[in-house]
Amino acid sequence: MKKRLLITRRLPAAVEARANDTYDVLQAQDDHQMTTDEIVEKAKGVDAVLITITDKMRKEVIEALPDSVKALSTFSIGFDHIDLEAAKARKLPVGNAPHGVTVATAEIAMLLLLGSARRASEGERMIRAKAWPGWAPLQLVGRRLDGKKLGIYGFGKIGQALAQRARGFDMEIHYHDIVRQPADKEKGAIFHDTLDSLLSVSEFFSINAPSTPETRYFFNSATIEKLPQGAIVVNTARGDLVKDDDMIAALKSGRLAYAGLDVFAGEPKINEGYYDLPNTFLFPHLGSAAIEARNQMGFEALDNVDAVFAGKDMPFKLA
């Protein structure tokens, strides 16, 4: 008899096909965002739950899950939406999907860097508004990337993948992380043992760190003042790493030249101040939105569930 699996959102066809082949799947066909109460209710009699980044599995939700649930796996690399301590307390194994997002998110970070430097969003808006007066020598003049210093805050898989792509644009790579990477992973990138040191040289600054109590809202007015005048900032990590009011003020004043943002605090309801800023390049959390990435994320999330019911440790275990 098949185990019962609750999947909280619609996933790519290949992922759903594999899930349905292995499990008796319970899933909302209309792809609505389930409330946590709905997840708890639908999990009755279910053996495992596959969630996404938008499902906030707080302590009280973890504790309310039926005893039948023996595994929790998230369709995401991030896990700040899950109370891991609560899961450990009830001995509920939790896993994530850490590898599928790497290339896709690095591509989006590179797109934000290039689009910000070359003022792509302003040009696109001009065309769509039928407001292009024709070519002019000083129209939407931006910057080239070659020879510029790119500071990467968080040099894990995504940070390293971004560095690889930025080298193709002849950028000089600098980074800061809590651990220095070996030379074969640095590939010539310059390590800074403090964030302040990295900020001081970063003409372009990419946020690739996880959201933790230590990093949350680290990018604020004090941080911005340590960047070179007119720096360009991109964020493909988590929205709550940025203090929005400080970022917006710096963009309005010209202290920051441009920001390319794929993630926001409180998304999809983002700070209203971003909407009318011309010097922003804004995406609706597209980081992993490539079919190859989403398939791999789904397969990794299912690998975790499969392992539990095979009597093994999850391959991507968090708790």
> Is the bond preceding residue 268 a cis peptide, omega within 30 degrees?
yes
- The residue type of 284 is P
* Per-position b or e across 125-138, b if 16+ CB within 10 A of its CB: eeeeeeeeeeeeee
Tell me whether residue 285 is one of the annotated catalytic residues: yes
Residue of 192, 238, 294, 300 marked active site: 238
Residue of 18, 81, 255, 285 marked active site: 285
In angstroms, how far is CA 188 from the centroid of its own chain?
A: 25
Give yes or no for a contact between 87 and 144, defined as CB atoms under 8 angstroms apart.
Answer: no
Tell me whether residue 267 is one of the annotated catalytic residues: yes
Tell me whether residue 32 is one of the annotated catalytic residues: no
Give yes or no for a contact between 95 and 318, defined as CB atoms under 8 angstroms apart.
Answer: yes
**What is the DSSP track for 114-178?**
HHHHTTHHHHHHHHHTT------TTTT-----TT-EEEEE--SHHHHHHHHHHHTTTPEEEEE-S
Residue of 267, 292, 294, 300 marked active site: 267
Annotated active-site positions, please? Answer: 238, 267, 285
